[in-house]
Amino acid sequence: MPTPGPASAGSRVRRRLVDLHGSCRSRGTTLGVSSQEDALADTGSPDHGRTEEPIDALLREAHLVGPHQVAGLLRRHAAALGLTDALVYLADLQQTVLLPVVEPAGPGMDRQLNPLGVDSTLAGRCYQHLEMVQQPTMEGVRVWMPLLDGAERLGVLGVTVAAAADLERDGGWLTTQLHRFAAVAAEVVMSRTLYGDTLVRIRRRRELGLAAELQWGLLPPLTFACPEVTVAGALEPAYEVAGDSLDYAVDAGSARFAVFDGMGHGLHSAQLTALAVAAYRNARRADMSLIDTIEAIDLAVSTAHPGSFVTAVIAQLDTDTGLLSWVNVGHPEPMLLRDRRAVKSLHNMPTLPFGISRALGREVAVHIRTEQLEPGDRLLLYTDGITDIRSPDGEFFDVHRLLDLLAANLAARLPIPETMRRLVRSLLDHQQGPLSDDATMLLVEWRSGNERTVLPS
């Protein structure tokens, strides 16, 4: 859950409430509370007043809460819907457990709330498959709902209802309201993360290294989806990642994306890569060509870190036609997958790593290649930390093993962020210990038709 750009909690949740639920029809100004009430009144619920009033109250109050007050805010407004014991669990950085968000002083502090395993609990199943899960308890039925910021998984929301039949009564009215409440809750959590460290700390199971702090603060959201393109990334080791990074931007008719690997390890490597990413974003936002972008990054690295270098793949996809253009800057070749099978590696004459050409007194020679994609094609970009992974008996985790695992998970039609999570778990299982180098992956799908698998079901 990398830090998003600044946004008002109230404005974000209002937009999401209308965008995510087509049953709402806004009139007047989208962000006005009165027009939001009109939109919610059109939902046709058996008694819309009993739902719209709590949700509107939540929207209004969200403007004036800090991160440490989110748990109480959601608990109070869930109770107004007849839902008890509302509690948010956020995924840790490695996505192995779900960690509870409790009030500094209030319900939940007087009981032991343990982390919930992503691979071993019903709450974890909800997180993996993005589906509502019911769990019978002594108090009634515990209902787990996924929390999403766009396509980015944040965690889960747990609430208790008296009986499973309540979810189906009145044509599933309460189920609809649960989906709506979870959408608003996710936006409140995400927007409040900007204003304090409470929610950030919860996701960390141990201290983050300084280099990793720099890199996590630089990352875009690790999942994005729209009808034209879907993007998902993964980095490991989460708490010590230093020289690897990724970035992307999706705009009208274009998706631009890149992976980076800075020389060495530790803080210097993180600073080097952070500069390369900043130079990439600066050139991209100035709408520079691929050639000019490569030259701008090389100049930045050469000037600020003489004697150091960064490898990368810098790519641009025309999302209307499927024409891919890319430059390989001394990096492992991207892989093209079609019909869930690896077709080929995308070969290109490598450009020298950023920082090398000028150190040698040469001009930057940029080699651009193109490839025409077919609808449903997938591209996998990765760093050499993936193929450097070895089991205790010395067996390398080669790219063919990676592609086989990727194909198997894609065949299971898992949500794309879950596919990436499982790939990372496979890397760690193979190593049977912490990784000795950063390992980063970026998966890009063009018109696969799978973008809705990242939405709650």
Task: Kindly report the CATH number assigned to the domain that includes residue 296.
Answer: 3.60.40.10
The pLDDT value recorded for residue 109 is 55
- My answer on whether 107 and 220 are in the same domain is no
- My answer on whether 305 and 288 are in the same domain is yes
Residue range 273-300: average pLDDT? Answer: 97
- My answer on whether 368 and 283 are in the same domain is yes
Closest CA to 190 of 221, 159, 225: 221
Q: Would you say residue 436 lies in a domain?
A: yes
Q: Would you say residue 1 lies in a domain?
A: no
Distance (Å) of CA 417 to CA 152, 222, 263, 420: 8, 8, 28, 5
Question: For residue range 80-115, what is the model confidence (pLDDT) as tens digits?
Answer: 989 999 999 999 999 999 999 998 876 555 566 899
Residue bearing tokens 């998984």: 153
The pLDDT value recorded for residue 50 is 52
Question: What's the predicted TM-score (pTM) here?
Answer: 0.86
- Examine the pLDDT at 445 and tell me if it is beyond 60: yes
The pLDDT value recorded for residue 438 is 85
- My answer on whether 433 and 381 are in the same domain is yes
Name the domain count of the chain.
2
- Examine the pLDDT at 29 and tell me if it is beyond 50: no
Which of 147, 167, 202 terminates a domain? The answer is: 202
Domain residue limits at 98:
9-202
Angle between the 49-61 and 165-192 helix axes, to the nearest 10 degrees?
10
Residue range 57-66: average pLDDT? Answer: 92
Question: For residue range 340-379, what is the model confidence (pLDDT) as tens digits?
Answer: 788 899 999 999 999 999 888 888 899 999 999 999 999 9
Closest CA to 426 of 453, 445, 398: 398
How many percent of the chain have pLDDT more than 90? 64
More confident of the two residues 440 and 111: 440
Give the C-alpha separation, 337 to 414, whole Å: 16
Least confident of 355-359, 446-450, 451-455: 451-455
- My answer on whether 193 and 96 are in the same domain is yes
